[in-house]
Amino acid sequence: MFDDPQSPAWTPLLNAAWKARDHAHAPYSHFLVGAALLTASGEVVAGCNVENAAYPLALCAERGALSAAVASGLRPGGLVAVVVVTDVEALTPPCGACRQALVEFAGTLPVLLANRRTRELHRLEDLLPHSFTSGHLR
C-alpha cells in the first residue's frame, strides 16, 4: 500500500499536506511546505512551515505536524507514513533535524515527496542511516 508511490492510500495524506501548505507562514523564504502524517490510529495530522522575523526560529512543516500528532496521542512506534509537498521542481526531502525528529516515532517509515507533477518514495531509514535513538542512551 504505502510501498507504492501511486497508491490511492496516499491521497488523504496528500490532500491534507497541500491544504496545510496553503497556511504556511513563510514571508522570509517564500518557500511554502506542507506535511501530513498518518498515525496507527488512522488519524491524518498535517503541518506547515512557520517562519519568524527571528530567522532561526523557523519551524519545518514536518515537525509542526509531528507536534500536533503527539498532542493528539501519537507515541513512539505509532507513525505509519509521512508526506512532504512543495510547489517547486526539485522534490523537498525532510531536513536533518526533521529526519531525527521522525526517527523518534518510527525507525522505519515510508516518506513520500511530492510536487504538483511528480512523486518519489523514500524510507526514513535510508534518509537517516545509523540514527541516534533512545537505545543509545543506555
Q: How far is the CB of 138 from ligand THU (least distance, A)?
A: 31
Binding ligand THU (rule: CB under 6 A), the pick from 43, 51, 104, 125 is 51
> Which grid coordinates belong to 13?
495524506
Sketch the per residue contact string, 88 through 117, with ligand THU: x for CB under 6 A, - otherwise: ----x-xx--x-------------------
Task: Tell me if residue 46 falls in helix, strand or coil.
Answer: strand
Binding ligand THU (rule: CB under 6 A), the pick from 13, 45, 61, 74 is 61
Q: If residue 84 lies in a helix (H) or strand (E), which one and from where to where?
A: strand 79-85
> Which grid coordinates belong to 69?
500528532
Task: Taking each helix axis as running N to C, give the angle between helix 61-71 and helix 11-21, from 0 to 180 degrees, rounded to the nearest 10.
Answer: 110
According to DSSP, residue 93 is labeled P
Handedness of CA 23, 26, 32, 36 (dihedral sign): negative
Binding ligand THU (rule: CB under 6 A), the pick from 11, 29, 72, 118 is 29
CA pair distance 115, 92, nearest whole angstrom: 8
> For ligand THU, which stretch binds (CB under 6 A), given 11-19, 28-36, 120-128, 130-138?
28-36
Active-site pick, 43, 51, 62, 89: 62
Q: Is 62 a catalytic residue?
A: yes
Query: Which residues are at the interface with ligand THU (CB under 6 A)?
Result: 26, 29, 31, 33, 49, 51, 58, 60-62, 84, 92, 94-95, 98
> Catalytic amino acids?
62
